[in-house]
Amino acid sequence: MTETLRVIEPATEQLIEEVPSGGPEAIDAAVDAARRAFPAWRAVAPADRARLLRRIADLVDEHREELARLEARNAGKPIADARGEMGMVADVFRYYAGAPERPNGETIPVAGGQAFTVREPLGVVGLITPWNFPLAIAAWKMGPALAAGNTLVLKPAELTPLTALRFERLALEAGLPPGVVNVVAGPGETAGARLVEHPGVAKIAFTGSTAVGTTIAARAAATLKRVTLELGGKSANVVFADADVEAAAAAAPAAVFGNAGQDCCARSRILVERPVLGDFLAALEPAVAAVRVGDPLDEATQMGPLISAAHRERVASYVGDDAPVAIRGRAPDGPGFWFAPAVLCPVDPDDRAAREEIFGPVACVIPFDGEAEAVALANDTTYGLSGSIWTRDGARALRVARAIDTGVLSINSNTSVRVSTPFGGVKRSGYGRELGPRALEAYSEVKSIYYATGAA
């Protein structure tokens, strides 16, 4: 009997679809297909590869509404957000479509000949992705991987495989040869683990939890695979007393309740300088009350349900009777994994809620006194992914930005991700960078060639 994944709609708890669930054999077959497709794909002329990537972008645009609705239903995210993510998927392919035709090496003066470098593709790359931004995060990996000339096997998260499976068909429709893009939906412990261990896979690009990422790094070492890891976060949103406090408070809810808090970049620790704590909370309260939680397919919705019942139970454990709940939003009743946004204040920096990645719509407000304490608190975490600084003092903004140990940081803004700028973490948030020009380096290797000319 064929194993299946029952794909559930978090907003209704109803079955959307059952899809085949692949195990190690399905991964082996996909890797074989990718290995067979590799020699021809790496040899595709640069302009032709660029054209195919642009064609993928065009097809994603043409199917934007269909893909956005599928993602909104499967991941429980607001349709407006899902449309934005599909726009980014197309943008990523367009951005990396420029890569095959750009210079990719250097010449180096040496005696007796000519030395130069070229970048070569790695071969078959394995991509393992989480459920929170299913197709967007897959695209961050697929775009540079394909542009650099690799073939790939993508294993999406068990809970949200639908857009990746749809994308696999769109890639064929765009004209990519069979075997270049292979998607295997299946469990992490079997299908994912096989991809990590497979001797025919050159690299694993993983986005997910720190616990699984740590296991993957250890297991990939057995075959000396390259690994890039985009892992969890517990980022700080630092509000100084000289900031535009109203603006900081207005932006704070989206920064932690966006995607129902299931965002690795969530600024879930809001550090507020003590003299403006009262003003900040007063401005935050109506902003939290205004967050519209509801049907992901409703255009006005700003926050959908959590991904699953089990995840909701975990998130709820941080908002128990003893939690200092200062502000609570509203959420629908009835079927669906709903959870009302919550702001805890004041939170002791040593509390579990302040230290662990909740991955839900729960913000911890922690008061501080002065710049040195702000930096110490911001760095008092095992993670280092994103963060924000709100101040009108430009010199302070730059001082603090340099002092916070994190991969990505915004000043007077809560945004983290752009197609053209590097994204990734430090500490337990992982290593390697996605997006931007450097991502290509993670999907290729430098070859150094020396041509003896007999010259002195």
Q: Which amino acid is at 399?
A: R
Active site residue 434: yes
User: Smaller CB distance to ligand NAD: residue 85 or 230?
Assistant: 230
Which residue matches tokens 């009262």? 278
Q: Which amino acid is at 76?
A: G
Measured CA to CA, the distance from residue 279 to residue 374 in angstroms comes to: 18
- Provide, rounded to whole angstroms, the least separation between the CB of residue 409 and ligand NAD: 14
**Torsion (CA) 39, 162, 75, 333 in degrees, nearest 10:** -170
Measured CA to CA, the distance from residue 134 to residue 410 in angstroms comes to: 24
| DSSP per-residue codes, 11-47 | TTTEEEEEEE---HHHHHHHHHHHHHHHHHHHTS-HH
- Provide, rounded to whole angstroms, the least separation between the CB of residue 289 and ligand NAD: 27
Measured CA to CA, the distance from residue 44 to residue 29 in angstroms comes to: 23
Active site residue 230: yes
User: Smaller CB distance to ligand NAD: residue 256 or 264?
Assistant: 264
User: Smaller CB distance to ligand NAD: residue 129 or 151?
Assistant: 129
- Provide, rounded to whole angstroms, the least separation between the CB of residue 226 and ligand NAD: 15
Strands across the sheet containing 113-121? 107-110, 113-121, 444-452
Measured CA to CA, the distance from residue 265 to residue 272 in angstroms comes to: 19
User: Smaller CB distance to ligand NAD: residue 150 or 228?
Assistant: 228
User: Smaller CB distance to ligand NAD: residue 129 or 302?
Assistant: 129
Burial of 349 (0-12, 13-18, 19+ CB in 10 A): middle
Residues that bind ligand NAD (CB under 6 A): 128-132, 137, 155, 157-158, 188-189, 192-193, 196, 207-209, 212, 215-216, 230-233, 264, 357, 359, 385, 425, 429
User: Smaller CB distance to ligand NAD: residue 210 or 391?
Assistant: 210
DSSP 320: S
Out of 225, 264, 345, 357, the active site residue is 264
Cα distances (angstroms) measured from residue 85 to each of 89, 135, 168: 6, 8, 17
Q: Are 188 and 212 in contact (CB under 8 A)?
A: yes
- Provide, rounded to whole angstroms, the least separation between the CB of residue 209 and ligand NAD: 3
Measured CA to CA, the distance from residue 41 to residue 57 in angstroms comes to: 18
Active site residue 13: no
Measured CA to CA, the distance from residue 293 to residue 381 in angstroms comes to: 30
DSSP 192: I
- Provide, rounded to whole angstroms, the least separation between the CB of residue 189 and ligand NAD: 5
Out of 71, 77, 85, 141, the active site residue is 141
Q: Are 360 and 344 in contact (CB under 8 A)?
A: no
Out of 9, 230, 273, 357, the active site residue is 230
- Provide, rounded to whole angstroms, the least separation between the CB of residue 324 and ligand NAD: 24
User: Smaller CB distance to ligand NAD: residue 358 or 397?
Assistant: 358
- Provide, rounded to whole angstroms, the least separation between the CB of residue 431 and ligand NAD: 11
Measured CA to CA, the distance from residue 397 to residue 410 in angstroms comes to: 10
Catalytically active residues are 141, 230, 264, 434
